[in-house]
Structure 1
């Protein structure tokens, strides 16, 4: 009887905790997202007079919104441990970030682990599946200037044209620095079988923990945002992290590999309801100067495939040992725990709820004046 009672109590606590978390996050979205939109609506005259200042303010609020999402996981004990290269010195450089894609939780993980990377979050541009446009965060991403891409052969060519136009129109005009994409083009569980079948047919690497990446968006980004080409290589010697350059253009490719304990990806439902025990997600960084990245289609395809072969090895080692392998010549790879400032998160949430109350009062008064 006692074990059953204990199980019932535990289940009751999980259900109550999930209900409370969902209620809080629902209200959180209801006050924060409309407030973000209304602030930017009121600031439209500033956009005409001083666009850089307008997009600076928008970027700050965008970062706060992502910090809110990060706080949902942080409060549930979902944290991030980082491995590999330190990317913080590159926060002011232009970079293309390629990430493996396992679940909806990958986006939440990025929202958390990039919070302490200087101005990255407010100056970043996301490439994500078009279905995210219809989520609660879709309107925010549309305003911020993220790009929603449709998958499938029927849309591929048009989407690449749209992507190039989008980059030309928004990337530099809004002072974007990092552009984040998932080259696999879908979740691991959905694409693995197709990828493995394609690999067998084309005599390509057979991958289990990642899938073969798609070239299209990566190639468009490199050709549109990369420096002038020299002999098929993006022509820049690369500047030290953080050093400004006169010519605009990508300076780095940052290869991020996300690993979940026991290969159990974190999804958005877990992030919201918090029913999984506290979990540490592991993120590995490796950086490449843009001069080392080819842009010719065949060479770039080989280079990109090699990055995902490396991801496969990293993940296989992690799932076997619980740690990422060290570089050649080193015995072990040091890790660092990513942390968020609880006081800062509290300030952000307080501002969100205060803004929601303010806008509710303003709109109520306006309604009363007219009706």
Structure 2
């Protein structure tokens, strides 16, 4: 599963435009779009507004708020003209996504205040697919996009949603537009872009299910790795993310993060949790580095940062780590990050960092 970008935006827009042109002679103003309060025409214009807004966020590198502009369709424009605007704004987003470097992030409010080009592409595709469905439902015409597009959206910005056998039906259910056997109806929903946490020399970039699947399969996950990376522990952790996603229990804040060196954009290792905190507020952490990146203090820096963010949650009481007995370098990392050895067995040592033991923990900076 490769990078999501301009091609997917173009595909989604082309499919939508092809359908909407077949019904452009119909009354869009007097018909509600599916379950929405908007008319079909208002919904189509809304999609255009979102596409150009996403392009503006990325192109302008907005970091604190939405760029304060909006699109206006000229008075007297017919429905076919609105479809022209849809195609144009879609082309602008696709071009912006294609020309934006991977590490650029721009403001989006939910849930972690930013998104990268993949996130904006996925949000744009979601807007097109879902609102074309709404319009089609209102006008009584069939519409079903390609399943691969729906899977692209689900694995990028719905990491908390358990996948189903039908990607389109799952996306509709996840956004309150349909039913799935054995699942309760959805009345409130949000998509979720990946979390990125900054430290002094690194960014800890959350790995979504699509990237995790690629890492598990032996790929790069979309990251530019230092020589010899990623190490086997990162691939194993990616497999844990995939399993959690497939079970519907993955929580992005408690998954895998790839450690990316700020100076050159190279990924040097992986770090993360074995799952969300349990009922006692306990979460297990693990990490590794590519061999070429070791000896520079990256793991200690990242662990202090990640631990600081985790312990800032009121429901997290203690972080736990297990280190093999013969892994002396890792024992040094965990100790320098403020963890205390609390036990041992034949295989290794157990370490803990409690919420009250924060003297060595570096406050996290969320980018």
Q: Structure 1 length normalisation: TM-score?
A: 0.25
Q: When you count helix as a share of all residues, which structure comes out higher?
A: 1
Q: Structure 2 length normalisation: TM-score?
A: 0.25
